[in-house]
């Protein structure tokens, strides 16, 4: 075996573990990025998904006054206060 062959083998022996470590770090980084991308896509899908119609909310009974009840004792829908008009 010539000196150049032994030098090549020595370098190959030294560089192979380093190359394995580097490729391992790259694969870990790629898998983390892919996981984050999936999470971001799921959040985006939720944000862009049309909202289902929400049922009208009624005030809980214990917060209602007698004025807020219908004659039959059921709660009435709370009305939003009117905003003042600019002068």
- Pair of tokens at residue 79: 């009305």
**Could you read off the pLDDT of 27-50 as tens digits, one per residue?**
999 999 999 999 999 999 888 887
At residue 17, what are phi and psi to the nearest 5 degrees?
-65, -35
As beta bridge partners, residue 75 has 69
State if pTM tops 0.75.
no
The span from the CA of 52 to the CA of 50, in Å, is 6
Residue-range domain boundaries for the chain: 1-49
Please report the pLDDT score of residue 50 as a whole number.
72
- Cβ contacts of residue 61 below 8 Å, gap of 6+? 75
The span from the CA of 39 to the CA of 29, in Å, is 15
């Amino acid at each position: 075996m010539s000196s150049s062959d032994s030098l090549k083998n020595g370098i190959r022996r030294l560089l192979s573990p380093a190359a394995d470590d580097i490729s391992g770090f790259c694969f870990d980084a790629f898998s983390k990025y892919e996981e984050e991308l999936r999470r971001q896509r799921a959040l985006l899908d939720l944000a862009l998904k049309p909202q289902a119609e929400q049922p009208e909310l009624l005030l809980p009974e214990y917060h209602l006054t007698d004025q807020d009840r219908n004659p039959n004792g059921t709660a009435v829908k709370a009305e939003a206060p009117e905003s003042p008009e600019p002068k």
